[in-house]
Amino acid sequence: MDFKDILEKRRAVNHFDPDRDVDETLLRAVVESAVKAPSSYNLQPWKLKALRDPGQKAELRKLAFDQPKVTEAPVVLMVLADRDGWKDGNATLESVFKDFVAAGKMQPDQKDWFLGVTQGLYGRDDEAAQAFANKNAGLFAMSFMYTASSHGLETHPMDGFDHDGVKQAFGIPDNYWVPMLIAVGYLKPGVTLHPKPWRQSYEDMMLD
Ligand SMILES: Cc1cc2nc3c(=O)[nH]c(=O)nc-3n(C[C@H](O)[C@H](O)[C@H](O)COP(=O)(O)O)c2cc1C
- What's the average pLDDT block by block, 10 residues per block, for the chain (208 residues)? 94 97 98 98 98 98 98 98 98 98 97 98 98 98 98 98 98 98 98 95 98
| CA 193 to ligand 1 centroid distance, Å | 14
Q: Is the CB of 8 under 6 A from ligand 1?
A: no
CATH homologous superfamily of 3-82+131-205: NADH Oxidase (3.40.109.10)
Q: Where are the domains of the chain?
A: 3-82+131-205
pLDDT for the residue numbered 112: 97
Closest Cα to atom 19, ligand 1: which residue? Answer: 12
- Give the residues across from 158 on adjacent strands: 181
Tell whether the torsion through CA atoms of 150, 155, 157 and 162 is positive or negative.
Answer: negative
Does residue 76 contact residue 183 with C-beta atoms inside 8 Å?
Answer: yes
Does residue 78 contact residue 172 with C-beta atoms inside 8 Å?
Answer: yes
| CA 7 to ligand 1 centroid distance, Å | 15
| CA 155 to ligand 1 centroid distance, Å | 10
pLDDT for the residue numbered 58: 98
Q: Is the CB of 11 under 6 A from ligand 1?
A: yes
Q: Is the CB of 196 under 6 A from ligand 1?
A: yes
- Determine the atom of ligand 1 nearest the C-alpha atom of 158: 5
Q: Is the CB of 163 under 6 A from ligand 1?
A: no
Which of 159, 205, 155, 206 lies closest to 183 in space, CA to CA? 155
Q: What is the DSSP annotation of 38-53?
A: --GGG---EEEEEE--
Which residues fall within 8 angstroms of residue 130, CB to CB, at 6 or more apart?
A: 83, 177
Burial bucket for residue 137 (CB in 10 Å: 0-12, 13-18, 19+): buried
Q: Is the CB of 197 under 6 A from ligand 1?
A: yes
| CA 125 to ligand 1 centroid distance, Å | 29
Does residue 161 contact residue 63 with C-beta atoms inside 8 Å?
Answer: yes
Which residues fall within 8 angstroms of residue 142, CB to CB, at 6 or more apart?
A: 37
Does residue 11 contact residue 183 with C-beta atoms inside 8 Å?
Answer: no
- Which amino acid, 116? G
Closest Cα to atom 12, ligand 1: which residue? Answer: 158
- Which amino acid, 174? D
pLDDT for the residue numbered 1: 82
The C-alpha atoms of residue 85 and residue 126 are separated, in whole angstroms, by: 13
The C-alpha atoms of residue 135 and residue 131 are separated, in whole angstroms, by: 6
